[in-house]
Amino acid sequence: MEIIPAIDLINGEVVRLHKGKYEDKTIFSNNPLEIASNWEDLGAQKLHIVDLDGALSGNIENLKVIKEIKNITNLSIQVGGGIRDFNSANHLLEDIGIQRIIFGTTAVENPNEIKKSIKQFGNQRIIVSLDSKGNFISIKGWTEDYKITIEDFLESMKNIGVKNFIFTDITKDGTLEHPNYKKINIMKNLIPSGLTIAGGISDIQDIIELDKLGIEKVIIGKAIYTNNINLKKAISLFDN
């Protein structure tokens, strides 16, 4: 089990949204570099960064901060939010040296950009988000529901060569109300390998339960900012 801390950015600040609502945000720090360094000091090897401004606008808006985090840490970084085409993916992966990028909206609206990215960089550096409030995919910073089921969308992504997915139950995200285990179990059956889980992870026991389900990676956000989860302890618990 890999434990991946998250940094969500709005205007260069580290925030957490409640159920994906931009109007319901909590600012945890105005120094994302300090937060990233802290997570690294506590034993994190990977970092999940979401440009929430970019997710709304369709352009990467917090690029300066992302570059700085990349430069001052040795973390393996994955970035999502505002990556709408191959050129954006290429800039992050090739020019800046980000390890993995996450496509969301583009995977629904323009999957050819994902195909191009996989062809250029291989399928291990490309992740697709499966974000939902029910059984339909949500896009554009989780502000719009797209009338395609997770299952149909997933099948279309597999067909173009996508191997890695992040599933987030938006109704659980930022709530500290525990994951949707029933849905996660379904997702695990659909994606036997290459599945990362996010949303609702509230305590160490949640991570233990997800590990029992065979989940390989979890992204933890609010719980490490509120000290519900001790990141160092969580990482050491699953350190093989």
CA distance 230 to 181: 22
Amino acid at 228: N
Catalytic residue among 8, 51, 169, 173: 8
SS3 for 115?
A: helix
Catalytic residue among 51, 53, 131, 173: 131
Please, which residues have CB within 8 angstroms of residue 197's CB and are 6 or more apart in sequence?
166, 167, 168, 179, 184, 187, 210, 215, 217, 218, 219
**φ, ψ at 95 (rounded to 5°):** -80, -40
**Count of Cβ atoms closer than 10 Å to residue 139 Cβ:** 20
**Catalytic residue status for 131:** yes
Residues 200/209, Cβ–Cβ less than 8 Å = no
Nearest one of 160, 110, 98, 108 to 130, comparing CA atoms: 108
Residues 114/126, Cβ–Cβ less than 8 Å = yes
List C-alpha distances in Å: 179 to 10, 31, 185, 205.
24, 28, 11, 11
Enzyme catalytic residues: 8, 131
